[in-house]
Amino acid sequence: MSKTMVALDFSTRKEVYDFLSKFKEPIYVKIGMELTYAFGFEIIRKIKAMGHQIFLDLKLHDIPNTVKQAMKNLAQLEVDVVNLHCSGGSVMMKAAIEGLQEGAIDGKRPLCIGVTQLTSTSQEMMNEELLISGKVEDVVISYATLAKECGLDGVVCSVHEAKAIHQACGEKFLTVTPGIRLSSDSVDDQKRVATPAYAKEQGCDYIVVGRSITTSEDPYETYTMIENIMKEK
């Protein structure tokens, strides 16, 4: 099973299908708001029908009943992973899991992971605008612990948080980490980046990689090289 989720951050269908055609076998892709809001669920169904696994990154956050019904619909798409904002609270997170269970096809619900704090949220912004006190790292651990208690399967987190999250929530609680760069890459707009080897060392279960693969000269080769690092024993 693939450990590298490739972020399909493209703006046209053609770019998406041209990119996927470079792969000899199904891969794990991350589809976010950009593609979903442009092309609807049709593109998700098509990519699924091609055999790829899908992390549908729509970050739900609403009243519990709305999230429950929305998750029920997402489960019917048979995507593999969905997510939500943990800041929606415990009732919302539990409702999300109920919705996924109700919508599950053949009893297999998508995994559900939580966003603790966005990496775009600074310490200052969290304290002064969102009025959440304490250190970002402590809030991340506290939200992850709550997510686990609510039945979520893991969280999206930075490479640097993965170890502490596993310590607090157990090794089986999934850590899915973006912000990955090869040592030869430019960091683009990411602030704190890490290599796949470092992510592996920190115990990250899955890494989300966008531009390092999508803009590489040979995406298949780069993907395979990263996968091999992630799968090393």
209 near ligand C5P (CB under 6 A): yes
Q: Is 172 a catalytic residue?
A: no
Among 2, 119, 121, 145, binds ligand C5P (CB under 6 A): 119
**Between the CA of residue 180 and those of 54, 63, 198, 232, what are the distances in Å?**
19, 33, 9, 17
**Between the CA of residue 223 and those of 21, 42, 51, what are the distances in Å?**
13, 26, 17
Binding track, positions 131-170, relative to ligand C5P; x by CB under 6 A: -------------------------x--------------
176 near ligand C5P (CB under 6 A): no
**Between the CA of residue 185 and those of 28, 195, 196, 213, 216, what are the distances in Å?**
22, 10, 12, 10, 9
Which residues are CB-contacts of 139 (< 8 A; sequence separation ≥ 6)?
A: 116, 117, 126, 132
Among 3, 4, 6, 7, binds ligand C5P (CB under 6 A): 7
- 3 CB-side CA count, 13 A: 21
86 near ligand C5P (CB under 6 A): no
Query: Which residue sits closest to ligand C5P, CB atoms considered?
Result: 210
DSSP one-letter code for 217: S
Which one, 192 or 231, has the nearer CB to ligand C5P?
Answer: 192
219 near ligand C5P (CB under 6 A): no
CA 165 to chain centre: 15
Question: What minimum distance in Å lies between the beta carbon of 38 and ligand C5P?
Answer: 14
Which one, 68 or 157, has the nearer CB to ligand C5P?
Answer: 157
Q: Which of 44, 53, 46 is nearest to 25 (CA)?
A: 53
Q: Which of 59, 68, 200, 231 is catalytic?
A: 59
- Phi and psi torsions of 133, nearest 5°: -85, 170
Which one, 44 or 208, has the nearer CB to ligand C5P?
Answer: 208
Residues forming contacts to ligand C5P in the complex (CB under 6 A) are 7, 9, 32, 118-119, 156, 178-180, 188, 190, 208-212
Residues marked as catalytic: 59
